[in-house]
Structure 1
Amino acid sequence: MTATTADFCQQVSEGITVIDTGFVRPRFDAAYLLVDNGRAAYIDTGPNNAVPRLLAALQMAGLDRSAVDYIIPTHVHLDHAGGVGLLMRELPNARMLIHPRGARHMIDPTALMEGVRAVYGVEVANRDYGELVPVPEERVITTSEGMVVTVGKRPLRFMDTPGHAKHHHCIWDEATRGWFTGDAFGIAYPELYTAKGPYMVPATAPIQFDPEALHQSTERLLAQQPRLMYLTHFGAVSDAEQLAVQFLAQVDEMVIIARSLAGVPNRHEQLKRAFADLYIGELRRCGSTLPDSFLREVLATDLELNAQGLGAWLDKAAR
Structure 2
Amino acid sequence: MDFEHGITAIDTGFHRPRFDASHLIVEDGRAAFIDVGTNYSIPGLLAELETKGVRREDVDHVIVTHVHLDHAGGAGEIMRQLPNARLAVHPRGAPHMINPARLVASASSVYGAEEVQRTYGELVPVPAERVVEIRDETVIDLAGRPLRCLDTPGHARHHFSVWDARSQAFFPGDTFGLSYREFDTEKGAFILPTTTPVQFDPVALKGSIARMLLLRPQAMFLTHYSRVADVERLARDLFEQIDAMVAIAESMHGQPERHERIKEGLAALYVERALAHGCAMDEARIRELLASDIELNAQGLEIWLEHGRR
TM-score bracket, shorter-length normalisation: over 0.9
Identify the residue that residue 233 of structure 2 maps to in structure 1: 242
Identify the residue that residue 214 of structure 1 maps to in structure 2: 205
Aligned-pair identity in percent equals 51
Confirm or deny: 8 A CA contact 2:2 2:9 kept in the other structure. Answer: yes
1:188-223: CA deviations, max 9, x gaps? 000011221111011101110000000100000000
Gaps spanning 5+ residues in structure 1: where? 1-9
The verdict on how the C-alpha distance between 1:157 and 1:318 changes in structure 2, with shifts beyond 3 A counting, is closer
Q: Does the residue aligned with 2:272 lie in a helix, a strand or coil?
A: helix
**Match for residue 69 of structure 1 among 36, 48, 60:** 60
Identify the residue that residue 109 of structure 1 maps to in structure 2: 100
Taking only aligned residues, the RMSD between alpha carbons, in angstroms, comes to 1.0
Confirm or deny: 8 A CA contact 2:201 2:308 kept in the other structure. Answer: no
Deviation at 1:153, TM superposition (A): 2.0
Identify the residue that residue 288 of structure 2 maps to in structure 1: 297
Q: Does the residue aligned with 2:54 lie in a helix, a strand or coil?
A: coil
Deviation at 1:317, TM superposition (A): 4.4
Deviation at 1:13, TM superposition (A): 2.2
Residue 71 of structure 2 corresponds to residue 80 of structure 1: yes
Counterpart-to-counterpart distance in 2, 1:309 and 1:157: 29
Identify the residue that residue 196 of structure 1 maps to in structure 2: 187
**Match for residue 169 of structure 1 among 150, 157, 160:** 160
Identify the residue that residue 38 of structure 1 maps to in structure 2: 29
Equivalent residue letter for 1:233:
H
1:157-195: CA deviations, max 9, x gaps? 000000000000000101000100100000000001122
Confirm or deny: 8 A CA contact 2:91 2:133 kept in the other structure. Answer: yes
Q: Does the residue aligned with 1:186 lie in a helix, a strand or coil?
A: coil
Runs of 4+ in 1 over 4 A off after TM superposition: none
Equivalent residue letter for 2:275:
R
Confirm or deny: 8 A CA contact 1:35 1:152 kept in the other structure. Answer: no
Equivalent residue letter for 1:264:
Q
What are the within-5 Å matches in structure 2 for residues 47-196 of structure 1? Answer: 47-196=38-187
Gaps spanning 5+ residues in structure 2: where? none
Residue 12 of structure 2 corresponds to residue 21 of structure 1: yes
Confirm or deny: 8 A CA contact 2:136 2:150 kept in the other structure. Answer: yes
Q: Does the residue aligned with 1:280 lie in a helix, a strand or coil?
A: helix
1:248-288: CA deviations, max 9, x gaps? 10110000111110000111110100000000000111112
Equivalent residue letter for 2:98:
I
Equivalent residue letter for 1:33:
L
Counterpart-to-counterpart distance in 1, 2:185 and 2:261: 27
Q: Does the residue aligned with 1:182 lie in a helix, a strand or coil?
A: coil
Deviation at 1:239, TM superposition (A): 1.0
